[in-house]
Chains A and B, each alone.
Chain A
Amino acid sequence: MTATLPANPPGLPGSGPSPSGGPIVSARRLTRHFQGRSRGGGRTTIRAVEEVDFDIEPGTIVALVGESGSGKTTLARMLALLHPPTSGDLVVAGKELPRRQRDKVRYYGNVQMIYQDPFASLNTLKPLRHILGRALRIHGRAKGRRNERELVAELLAKVNLTPPEQFVDAYPTSLSGGQRQRVAIARALAVRPRLLLADEPTSMLDASIRLDILNLLRDLRDSERVAILYITHDIASARYISDRIMVMYGGRIVEQGPTDDVVQNPRHPYTRLLVASAPDPAHHKGSGLNRRVQVVGDAEPVDVSQEVTGCRFAPRCPFVMDRCREQRPPLLQVGDQAAACWLLEDEQ
């Protein structure tokens, strides 16, 4: 297959076999543009996300990896109803995105967010009992006061804030960063969501605490069967917790596939650069594995306000061909992986 994807392909390149019930998220040609001003003062269109196709299966962790400005947060914000898509289709839990407020509340009963900064995402004037109880009440998950108290304790236990009695009356200010992030996760779980959007949930935390949060997300995937979109620039942590990886570059998904395949055998030259650039403790001095990565061209982020006909990565790509500058490569399937690179054409 070399032609561009049809609008609604039956099986998406790079998607695994679809189990019964269908995906929790299904995006087709999903696009989000912003109007901005260029350095000269003229109007420009910032193509934050361009024609993105992906599925998220229930109970899986999908890592969305890419540099700053690659569009990963915009993608999550569309799923969180914070930016309406400019065009394309986004189906979540079998439904189109809601427009009316009442439908939005119902939507948030399925989809919840965990933000990067647990010092900003919790109301410091309220005890945890209130913070968690409010989510339960708004979404009608608690039946009466007593049930609410039980559920709050249950939520605290789920995120390992134990014993719960010790935490229900605590205020966020008395908690450490890691504990606060657990509260944020507990609040998201209160509505029994089917999808969690976790945007860099560990980047504000210390190394020793970070792993606990990653382990917690991994455990919740298994115990709650919740799907998680894990957004990160750290490919090592993506490899640690995710089932699948999607790599974004310049607003487009350039590679996706099962985690092990993408990390061990990256097919897109950008993914290769990303994997080769990531720090790896096994490559310590004296290991004989020390390496220099050849970065071609300038490692500056792409300017997504410039429209290009070819591949966005072409100016930095060590394998660039004339064709890459003229024609945008579609996602091409190789095994379970798919990458948007003309190099894969021969392998199909």
Chain B
Amino acid sequence: MTPTDQTLPAERDHHTGPLLEIRNLSVRYLTEAGEVPACDDVTLTVRRGEILGIAGESASGKSTLLTALLRLQRTPAVTSGGEVIFHRGGGRPPVDLVRLDERAMSPLRWSDLSIVMQSAMACLNPVMRLRAQFADVITLKNPTMTRGQVDERITELLRMVGIAPDYATAYPHQLSGGMRQRSLIALALACDPDLVVMDEPTTAVDVVMQRTILDQVLALQERLGFAIIMVTHDLSLLLEISDRIAIMYGGRVVEVGDAAEIYAHPRHPYTQGLRNAFPPLSEPVRRLTGIPGTPPNLLNLPVGCAFAPRCPHAQDDCLALRPELRTMPTTGAGEPGLAACLHPLDRDETRRQDEDAARPDAVAVDSEALLASTMEGAQR
């Protein structure tokens, strides 16, 4: 058992109340070919201290959503409606991020909200040593800190993500890809934000490095209690680390629910298709089908459900009516999920059909035993 498994009760209390309420947020790209509704009527809540995963294919609107709620978007992207209510800590009143001007937004950056982007090399300044880039952020937010205190904090931050403090004097190009990504994470945590937004933070690194980074992020999140919005196209990864998951398709959220429910009982046929598009590692191999067709053209969205043309369960009304997110009845102990589907899948339909399709000779991987043996070795 790792020390981080023991969460203190006081820290558990973080998991109460909303931190960020996204209400009916719409973002449009104004292009010559017309308005592209990249994000349409998105409503989502992020709770304090939780990990909310957002999954979707390219052009599903997930990155647009992130840049819109952090006010990092540039023209031609325009927020055309909705609000993003951010509940600040320390008894300060909630604010609507959409309506804040940059002068009011600026104090929130780094201290309340921060972001980790996919391409670390593009985010770090190539001609500044790591130390200077960290010091920039830390002194901006803590003008009274002495140089010694700043250096101490930098050392602490780098240690937190497993980078030797000597690297503070290195330039970004002297770091490996994994180290760069980890230093961005350390930078995002420099001012103890309540919310860290991560946009495909591990897509550019190797599987083993990805696991190292995510384990560090999870351990830090448990210790420091910040909330995470994690965006990635890799649903299998998201299932492993998220408390709740939102699935986006064609600029809209089509399903939201607990990770366990999304995995075991997806209600939206797209969620089911996406889940089945990732071959499992520990379950028996069976032929998976993927999702027929291609993602929708946002310039020419169908009148009804955007997924209807690809949906194996589509009926006539799906082509005419656009379904709204609604609460799904639940039988389990978990909280009910939401899905935007006129004919959501029954809980029974969505079980993974392992028994009937399993290859008789296939044996599931016992990754627990595998891990146990690896750990044993590590302790020698």
Which residues of chain B from 219 to 261 have any CB-CB distance to chain A below 8 Å in the complex? Answer: 219, 233-237, 239-243, 258-260
B311 within 8 A of A: no
Closest Cβ–Cβ distance, residue A73 to chain B (whole Å): 14
Asked if A4 is an interface residue, CB under 8 A from chain B, the answer is no
Q: A210 touching B277 by the CB < 8 A rule?
A: yes
CB contact under 8 A between A289 and B294, given known A233-B206, A263-B281, A278-B281: no
Query: A264 within 8 Å of B by Cβ?
Result: yes
Knowing A67-B208, A206-B57, A301-B206 are in contact, say whether A281-B368 is a contact too (CB < 8 A).
no
- B7-15, B88-96, B371-379 - the one binding chain A: B371-379
A277 cross-chain contacts in B, Cβ below 8 A: 207-208, 210-211
Query: Contact string, A279-305, partner B, CB cutoff 8 A, digits 1/0?
Result: 111111111011111111011110000
A215-B287, A296-B378, A300-B179 in contact; A290/B240 too (CB < 8 A)? yes
B371: chain A residues at CB < 8 Å are: 276, 291, 293-294
Find out whether the CB atom of B215 lies under 8 angstroms from the CB atom of A292: yes
B302 at the A interface (CB under 8 A): no
Q: Are A211 and B374 in touch, CB under 8 angstroms? A: no
Bound-complex Cα distance A239 to B279 (A): 8
**Per-residue interface assignment for chain B, residues 1 to 38, with 1 indicating a CB less than 8 Å from any chain A CB and 0 otherwise:** 01010000000000000000000000000000000000
Q: Nearest-CB distance from B70 to chain A (Å)?
A: 24
Q: Which residue of B lies closest to A317 (CB)?
A: B377
B362 at the interface (CB under 8 A from A): yes
Please tell me if the beta carbons of B288 and A292 are within 8 angstroms of each other in the complex. no
Known: A208-B290, A281-B240, A300-B178. A235 touches B277 (CB 8 A): no
In the complex, per-residue mask of A206-223: 1 if CB is within 8 Å of any chain B CB, else 0? 111111101100000000
Q: Is B212 an interface residue (CB 8 A)?
A: yes
Interface size, chain B (Cβ < 8 Å): 68
Q: Is A274's CB within 8 Å of the partner chain B?
A: yes
Write the nearest CB–CB distance from A71 to chain B, whole angstroms.
14
A34 an interface residue at 8 Å Cβ cutoff? no
Q: Separation in Å of the A243 CB from the closest CB of chain B?
A: 12
Partner of A286, one of B207, B258, B278, B294: B258
Nearest Cβ in chain A — how far from B331, in angstroms?
Answer: 16
**Which residues of chain A have C-beta atoms less than 8 A from B57's C-beta?**
206-208
Contact A295 B240 (CB under 8 A): no
- Asked if B273 lies at the interface with its beta carbon under 8 angstroms from chain A, I say yes
A317 to B373, CA, bound (A): 12
What is the 8 Å Cβ interface bit string for chain B, positions 334-345, against chain A (1 contact, 0 not)?
000000000000
**B363 and A272 contact, CB distance less than 8 A:** no
- Tell me how far the C-beta of B273 lies from the nearest C-beta in chain A, rounded to whole angstroms: 6
Minimum distance in angstroms from B198 CB to a CB of chain A: 15
Q: Are A295 and B236 in contact (CB under 8 A)?
A: no
Q: Which residues of B contact A239 (CB under 8 A)?
A: 279, 281, 285
CA distance A115 to B271 in the complex (A): 29
Contact indicator A283/B233 (Cβ below 8 Å): no
Q: How far is the CA of A292 from the CA of B241 in the complex (A)?
A: 11
State whether A67 touches B207 (Cβ < 8 A): yes
Query: Please, which residues of chain B bring their CB within 8 A of the CB of A234?
Result: 207
Q: Is the CB of B259 within 8 A of A260?
A: no
Q: Which residues of B contact A (CB under 8 A)?
A: 2, 4, 57-58, 162, 176, 178-179, 206-212, 215, 218-219, 233-237, 239-243, 258-260, 262-263, 273-283, 285, 287-291, 294-295, 361-368, 370-371, 373-375, 377-378, 380
Chain A contact residues, CB within 8 Å of chain B? 67-68, 176, 178-179, 206-212, 214-215, 233-237, 239-240, 260, 263-264, 266, 269, 272-287, 289-296, 298-301, 317-319
Some 9 contacts from A to B, beta carbons below 8 A apart, are A208-B57, A211-B290, A215-B287, A269-B377, A274-B208, A281-B278, A295-B208, A318-B375, A318-B380
Besides the known contacts A210-B277, A279-B281, 18 further A-B residue pairs in the complex with CB atoms under 8 A apart: A211-B279, A260-B363, A264-B365, A264-B366, A276-B211, A276-B374, A277-B210, A279-B239, A281-B278, A281-B280, A284-B260, A285-B258, A286-B259, A291-B367, A293-B211, A295-B212, A299-B209, A301-B176
